[in-house]
Chains A and B, each alone.
Chain A
Amino acid sequence: MMRTRLGRQALLTGWGRTAPSSADVVHAVHPDVVDQAMRIAASEPSAGRGMIARGLGRSYGDAAQNAGGIVVDATWLDAIHHVDFENGLITVGAGVSLETLMERFVPMGWFVPVTPGTRMVTVGGAIAADIHGKNHHRDGSFCSHVTRMTLVTPTGSIELSAQSDPDLFWATAGGMGLTGVITDATLQMIPVGTSYMLVDTERATDLDDVMGKMVSGDDGYRYSVAWIDCQSTGSRLGRSVLTRGDHARLEDLPARLRQDPDKARAFHPRTLITVPITPPSGLLNPLTVGAFNELWFRKAPKHQTAKPHHMTGFFHPLDGVGSWNRLYGRKGFLQYQFVVADRYGETVRQVIERLTALKLASFLAVLKRFGPGDPGPLSFPMAGWTLALDLPVGYHLLDSLLDELDQLVMGVGGRIYLAKDSRVSPENFAAMYPRLDEWRAVRHRVDPDGLLRSDLGRRLGLCSDVNTEPGHLRPGPGTGQPAPKKKRAPAKKRALPTPIPPTERTSS
């Protein structure tokens, strides 16, 4: 097998640990390496398999995999380029993690504008997935806070902002890396007084209760999310714990912190425990998950207001457990996250009902109300309800169940989140994202030969390895012609007279 000199062959999966594939992993120790890798992708021997950037591998499915091609490990692009403390504008390499940003800048009074349920994502990945957080109803998704970025495309490196080239900027927001490799970006951070949150927690008895509380009260909070017990049925269907809050100012904190401002601003996350091995699949079953859900629900206070919590516990409770994805065992797991418009809250109920009817255990079920989406044609968030469900692979009806959920979601104009997806069909995906052709046109403009490829792109028909377009023969950046793939004429074959006795029963 031909291998590039830059890379090293590695087997990759997403966070769900499903569908492994092998690629040449190239460490982007400098942005120049990205150019270099793109040239290699454009030429033999890797021609035909393309390249994609990978950050910390937190996409659940196959977004940051590129079977047989090049995967650029962008976590090496970890420089802090420029910091404007006055205005909270920071320019960093695309491989800088949100954790690093918090560690460096929270003590200085600046927090990331959007954080998902884990800090272990890179800035580049956050843009490529246009991630959202508990503050989406107020602040929108990540790319709304990106003022500029450098995007390396097969047609050249581009200084990109929503003003300079809105089509490309928004095609890159949520474009899953298929419009180019982001090498650095400038973020508008938000000012915070401390590393603590003031959190209101309340229990909701059922789905109507929690949705009602979110509709009426979310506007009063910067951050809001509900954890749902997906195993409760009947009158308790959708019972949940709603946590909402905002950043705490120094004067909001108890005396021991107020008197120690350094401590009140400290951000030193620790991994409390790491799952050392992969236990057998089935550890997270209806019984254990049920016990956990019961415990979690009862542990939550019935009603508690303005309780100070550190950011790490409020935003990223699971980051305290290293490699928690191993808990799902060898077969791995997936996350099903969808969004439907506000008036289709009933769809959320139908989905939970389907799960409880099958007694399928979802360890984590999170409900959130989105504000309006941004202009990205593949960006996931839109105004409405989003529900995210972690589900172990191995349940024999999982495929048909999720196809059924797709139908429910599509039926009301909803969609699923590509960063979480590992199983949607190309047809359903295209139906969920009606602006797909718009996105394809922008991608074609910067990547006419389709060099940017991923397993997700292959699975969903966003990119192809069979090059039939005339654009295939155009040169890559700064290189000569990539050699066209030779098509061998189908070999002539003859059906041999079988030497096996005629009494033979054959199956071939």
Chain B
Amino acid sequence: MIDAIGRPQSLLVLGGSSEIAQSIVAKMVPARCRTVILAGRVGPRLSAAADLARSAGAEVVETVAFDVTETANHVVFADDVFDRFGDIDVVLVAAGVLGDQSVDEHNPVAAAEVIATNFGGLASAMLAVTDRMRRQGHGRLVVLSSVAGQRARKANFIYGASKAGLDAFSQGLGDSLEGSGVRVMIVRPGFVVGRMTEGMDPAPFSTTPDAVADAVAHGIESGATVVYVPSVLRWVFAVMRHLPGWLWRRMPG
């Protein structure tokens, strides 16, 4: 159960080897989260993430094979996890790919793959887990979206569109869960300096996986539905969304 101060006791991560997810695990485990289930592509990265969770002190750490795009398996996956481990207090939706816009623009298959992973696949997985969360009558679905979905930039519109889809889906899903005890929290980080963005020049208002983890923990406590990291991006994007097209197109990056 999530306690009065927003501390969950069990966590399921979709995209368990994500760097941001690891920061969140590292923050939640010392705050009493004793069960950590990392779902993702089985391999050394996922095992390493599990080792990190164990060394942080989690009592039950399991890795579970999970493929975002294998939507036919998602219901079975969710049933397996919830049957085996009991209540899941927080499901963290952290899977996602950034793509390489300059290449993908000319490779429709790759572009569709980014969208299928970040949006279509996750939409399926989220429906599968929320069905179980609805039945348990409590829990929080934390979705790692991005400010890139707030207004697509020409340099990054495939990823941006996939996040916009995920973001809108999560908002609607959250509304549909009203009264069920399950709540959705959308996290919209700016540019996160880390493995995913290695070699890229940080955009203004860039952040770090640790800062995202802090914001997630605080958001769970306060019952937030949308969290920007850093929080100033809420106001930045309130403006950005309404910039005239000619100006928006001139934005760098």
A 200-224 binary contact with B (CB < 8 Å = 1; else 0)? 0000000000000000000000000
Task: Say whether B95 contacts A423, CB under 8 Å.
Answer: no
Please tell me if A490 contacts chain B, counting CB pairs below 8 Å.
yes
Q: Contact partner of A459 among B1, B42, B43, B83, CB < 8 A?
A: B1
Q: Contact partner of A21 among B7, B76, B138, B222, CB < 8 A?
A: B138
Please tell me if B198 contacts chain A, counting CB pairs below 8 Å.
yes
Task: Say whether A49 contacts B99, CB under 8 Å.
Answer: no
Query: Residue of A at shortest CB range from B19?
Result: A507
- Chain A positions 50-74 with a Cβ under 8 Å from a chain B Cβ: 61-62, 66-69
Please tell me if A506 contacts chain B, counting CB pairs below 8 Å.
yes
Task: Say whether B179 contacts A11, CB under 8 Å.
Answer: yes
Please tell me if A398 contacts chain B, counting CB pairs below 8 Å.
yes
Q: Contact partner of B223 among A330, A489, A496, A501, CB < 8 A?
A: A330
Binds B, one of A12-20, A99-107, A230-238, A291-299: A12-20
Q: Contact partner of A422 among B4, B83, B135, B198, CB < 8 A?
A: B4
Please tell me if A396 contacts chain B, counting CB pairs below 8 Å.
yes
Query: Residue of B at shortest CB range from A425?
Result: B32
Shortest CB-to-CB span from A159 to chain B, Å, is 33
B 87-106 binary contact with A (CB < 8 Å = 1; else 0)? 10000001111111001100
Docked Cα-Cα span, A229 to B243, in Å, equals 53
Q: Contact partner of B195 among A465, A496, A505, CB < 8 A?
A: A505
Task: Say whether B1 contacts A488, CB under 8 Å.
Answer: no
Query: Residue of A at shortest CB range from B80?
Result: A490
Please tell me if B129 contacts chain A, counting CB pairs below 8 Å.
no
Docked Cα-Cα span, A493 to B64, in Å, equals 9
Please tell me if B55 contacts chain A, counting CB pairs below 8 Å.
no
Chain A residues positioned under 8 Å from B73 (CB to CB): 491, 493
A 446-467 binary contact with B (CB < 8 Å = 1; else 0)? 0000000001001100001110
Task: Say whether A507 contacts B98, CB under 8 Å.
Answer: yes
Chain B residues positioned under 8 Å from A22 (CB to CB): 137-138, 179-182
Please tell me if A241 contacts chain B, counting CB pairs below 8 Å.
no
Binds A, one of B108-116, B149-157, B165-173, B245-253: B108-116
Chain A residues positioned under 8 Å from B66 (CB to CB): 493
Chain B residues positioned under 8 Å from A399 (CB to CB): 5, 7, 31
Task: Say whether B114 contacts A500, CB under 8 Å.
Answer: yes
Task: Say whether A499 contacts B110, CB under 8 Å.
Answer: yes
Docked Cα-Cα span, A19 to B5, in Å, equals 8
Please tell me if A393 contacts chain B, counting CB pairs below 8 Å.
yes
Please tell me if B201 contacts chain A, counting CB pairs below 8 Å.
no
Chain A residues positioned under 8 Å from B70 (CB to CB): 493, 496
- Chain B positions 13-69 with a Cβ under 8 Å from a chain A Cβ: 14-15, 17-20, 31-32, 40-43, 64-69
Among A16, A20, A402, A505, the most chain B Cβ lie within 10 Å of the Cβ of A505
Docked Cα-Cα span, A61 to B73, in Å, equals 38
Q: Contact partner of B196 among A423, A496, A507, CB < 8 A?
A: A507
Task: Say whether B97 contacts A501, CB under 8 Å.
Answer: no
Please tell me if B2 contacts chain A, counting CB pairs below 8 Å.
yes
Task: Say whether A508 contacts B135, CB under 8 Å.
Answer: no
A68 and B103 in contact, given A422-B3, A459-B1, A495-B67 (Cβ under 8 angstroms): no
Please tell me if B117 contacts chain A, counting CB pairs below 8 Å.
yes
Task: Say whether B95 contacts A495, CB under 8 Å.
Answer: no
Docked Cα-Cα span, A69 to B87, in Å, equals 13
Chain A residues positioned under 8 Å from B244 (CB to CB): none
Shortest CB-to-CB span from B76 to chain A, Å, is 4
The bracket for how many chain A residues form the interface is: 35 or more
Task: Say whether B40 contacts A508, CB under 8 Å.
Answer: yes
Query: Residue of B at shortest CB range from A485?
Result: B83
B 68-82 binary contact with A (CB < 8 Å = 1; else 0)? 111001001101100
A507 and B80 in contact, given A9-B179, A398-B5 (Cβ under 8 angstroms): no
- Chain A positions 462-508 with a Cβ under 8 Å from a chain B Cβ: 464-466, 485, 487-491, 493-496, 499-501, 503-508
Task: Say whether A508 contacts B96, CB under 8 Å.
Answer: yes
Please tell me if B9 contacts chain A, counting CB pairs below 8 Å.
yes
Query: Residue of B at shortest CB range from A507?
Result: B18
A455 and B138 in contact, given A488-B83, A503-B103, A504-B97 (Cβ under 8 angstroms): yes
Query: Residue of B at shortest CB range from A496?
Result: B67
Docked Cα-Cα span, A495 to B65, in Å, equals 8
Docked Cα-Cα span, A423 to B221, in Å, equals 12
Chain A residues positioned under 8 Å from B137 (CB to CB): 21-23, 49, 66-69
Docked Cα-Cα span, A493 to B40, in Å, equals 10
Please tell me if B204 contacts chain A, counting CB pairs below 8 Å.
no
Please tell me if A334 contacts chain B, counting CB pairs below 8 Å.
yes
Query: Residue of B at shortest CB range from A465?
Result: B86
Docked Cα-Cα span, A495 to B117, in Å, equals 14
Please tell me if A371 contacts chain B, counting CB pairs below 8 Å.
no
Task: Say whether A18 contacts B4, CB under 8 Å.
Answer: yes
Chain B residues positioned under 8 Å from A31 (CB to CB): none
A466 and B85 in contact, given A19-B3, A22-B137, A458-B1 (Cβ under 8 angstroms): yes
Q: Contact partner of A393 among B5, B117, B138, B197, CB < 8 A?
A: B5
Please tell me if A277 contacts chain B, counting CB pairs below 8 Å.
no
Please tell me if B218 contacts chain A, counting CB pairs below 8 Å.
yes
Shortest CB-to-CB span from A328 to chain B, Å, is 11
- Chain A positions 329-362 with a Cβ under 8 Å from a chain B Cβ: 330-332, 334
Task: Say whether B100 contacts A508, CB under 8 Å.
Answer: no
Docked Cα-Cα span, A332 to B80, in Å, equals 35
Please tell me if B136 contacts chain A, counting CB pairs below 8 Å.
yes
A508 and B195 in contact, given A330-B223, A423-B7 (Cβ under 8 angstroms): no
Chain A residues positioned under 8 Å from B86 (CB to CB): 464-466
Chain B residues positioned under 8 Å from A19 (CB to CB): 1-4, 138
Among A1, A489, A496, A506, the most chain B Cβ lie within 10 Å of the Cβ of A506
Shortest CB-to-CB span from B18 to chain A, Å, is 4
Chain A residues positioned under 8 Å from B206 (CB to CB): none
Docked Cα-Cα span, A459 to B110, in Å, equals 45
Cβ contacts A to B, 7 pairs, < 8 Å: A11-B181, A332-B4, A394-B222, A402-B5, A422-B4, A491-B73, A504-B99
The 5 closest A-B pairs by CB, nearest first: A68-B137, A22-B181, A67-B137, A422-B4, A18-B4
**B binding-site residues for A, Cβ under 8 Å:** 1-5, 7, 9, 14-15, 17-20, 31-32, 40-43, 64-70, 73, 76-77, 79-80, 83-87, 94-100, 103-104, 107, 109-110, 113-114, 117, 134-138, 179-182, 195-198, 218, 221-223
**A binding-site residues for B, Cβ under 8 Å:** 1-2, 9-11, 16, 18-23, 49, 61-62, 66-69, 330-332, 334, 393-394, 396, 398-399, 402, 422-423, 425, 455, 458-459, 464-466, 485, 487-491, 493-496, 499-501, 503-508
